[in-house]
Amino acid sequence: MTRPAPASGREGSAAETVLRADGLSRHFGGLRAVQDVSFSVYAGEILAVIGPNGAGKTTLLNLLSGVYRPSAGRLTLLGRDVTRASMEARCHAGLGRAFQIVRPFGEMTVHENVTVGALFGTPGMRLPQARELAWSLLVRTGLAAQADRPAHELTLLQDKRLEVTRALATQPKVLLLDEVMAGLRPAEAQEAVALVRSVRESGVSVLFIEHIMPVVRDLADRVVVMDQGQVLAQGTYREVTAHPQVVAAYLGSDAELGAALGETGAGDAPAGTVRA
Ligand SMILES: Nc1ncnc2c1ncn2[C@@H]1O[C@H](COP(=O)(O)OP(=O)(O)OP(=O)(O)O)[C@@H](O)[C@H]1O
C-alpha cells in the first residue's frame, strides 16, 4: 500500500507502508485498554504516539511488539500479517524495540551486548559478522569509546544509547521506542533526539511513545493521540495540538502537558486533516 509521503520534507514521492495496525484492540477483563486502533507507519517516518496517563500507549506498543496478542484486529509488517507472530518472529521480520527501563547484561562489555543483539536479530549470522556489525553500530551511535567497558558502568544517557544500539543490531525496518527520553536532562534529551534522527536517516522508521511535548514537536513527522484506549486524532504536531478534544483530554488530566500544548500556539493552527 502506498500513499503520499508524510509531512517531513519528503513530499512529492510515494511512501511505502512498513507497519499497519487495523482495528487493534486489547481488553483486560472488562477494561478496554486499546480499542479499535488503526494507523500506519510509513518508510522513513518518525511517528509519535502520545496521550494522557492510562491512554493505552504501552499496551499498544506491547501489541505491536508481540508481548500481547490482540483481542481483535490485525497487524501487518512489511506487507506480512504478523498479528499472531511471536516476538522473536516479529524481530526477525524487521521490528525492533528499545525499552524505557534499560536492562543490559551488566557484566558483559558494551560491544558484547550489541553483538548479542545482532546474533539474536539475524538467525544464522556468524560471530565475526555480528561483532563487526556491533562495532559499526557503536561508532554510529557514539558509544565506540565505551565498547570495552562493562555495561553496568554506563551513565543513563549511555545506557539509552546502548539500548537503541542493541535494538538496531537486530537490523529492524521499524524501531519502537518506549519513552527513551525519560529521566534525561534537557541537554541529554537533545542528544537523544539527534540519535533518533540519525536512526531515521539510516533508513529505519521510528514509532515512539513520549510524554515530553517539546521532544514530540521536534522529532515527530506525525502524531497519533490516544485517550481511553482509542485514537483521538492523528496528524502533524500542529494539527493534533489544535484539536479541541486533544486539548481537553490533556487539560483534564495533566496540567503540565496542557501547558505544553498551549505553548505551541496550537489554537491558530489548521485542524483540517485531523481525524477524530
Ligand atoms: N496487564 C494488564 N492487566 C490489566 N490492566 C492493564 C494491564 N496493562 C495495562 N492495563 C490497563 O490498561 C490501561 C492502559 O494502560 P497503559 O499502560 O497501556 O497506558 P499508558 O498510556 O501507557 O499509560 P502511561 O502513560 O501512564 O504509561 C490502564 O487502565 C491500565 O491500568
CATH, residue 9: 3.40.50.300
Rounded to two decimals, the pTM is 0.85
57 vs 59: CA distance, rounded Å: 5
244 vs 168: CA distance, rounded Å: 37
5 vs 45: CA distance, rounded Å: 9
Query: Is 124 a domain residue?
Result: no
Query: Is 183 a domain residue?
Result: yes
Query: Is 155 a domain residue?
Result: no
What number of CA atoms fall less than 13 Å from residue 161's CA on the CB side? Answer: 28
Query: Is 65 a domain residue?
Result: yes
Strand 31-42 versus strand 222-227 pairing type: unpaired
Which atom of ligand 1 lies at the shortest distance from residue 55's CA? 21
28: domain range? 2-106+171-262
ipTM: 0.96
Helix or strand (DSSP H, E) at 72 = strand 72-77
Query: Is 31 a domain residue?
Result: yes
Query: Is 131 a domain residue?
Result: no
197 vs 200: CA distance, rounded Å: 5
93 vs 87: CA distance, rounded Å: 10
Which atom of ligand 1 lies at the shortest distance from residue 59's CA? 18
Strand 174-178 versus strand 95-98 pairing type: parallel
* Residue with CA at minimum distance from ligand 1 atom 31: 54
Distance (angstroms) between ligand 1 centre and the Cα of 187 equals 30
Does the beta carbon of 52 lie inside 6 Å of ligand 1?
no
199 vs 41: CA distance, rounded Å: 15
Does the beta carbon of 225 lie inside 6 Å of ligand 1?
no
Distance (angstroms) between ligand 1 centre and the Cα of 184 equals 23
Query: Is 39 a domain residue?
Result: yes
Query: Is 149 a domain residue?
Result: no
Alpha helices per DSSP H over 29-155: 57-65, 87-93, 110-121, 127-140
* Contact predicate 194/201, CB 8 Å: no
* Contact predicate 90/66, CB 8 Å: yes
Tens-binned pLDDT, residue by residue, of the chain (276 aa): 444 444 444 444 457 999 999 999 999 998 999 999 999 999 999 999 999 989 999 999 999 999 999 999 999 999 999 999 999 999 999 999 876 556 777 788 999 999 998 998 888 899 999 999 999 999 989 999 999 999 999 998 898 889 889 999 999 999 999 888 888 888 888 888 999 999 999 999 999 999 888 899 999 999 999 999 999 999 999 999 888 888 888 766 554 555 555 444 443 333 323 333
Q: How many structural domains compose the chain?
A: 1
Distance (angstroms) between ligand 1 centre and the Cα of 52 equals 11
133 vs 169: CA distance, rounded Å: 7
| Sequence-distant (≥ 6) Cβ neighbours of residue 262 within 8 angstroms | none
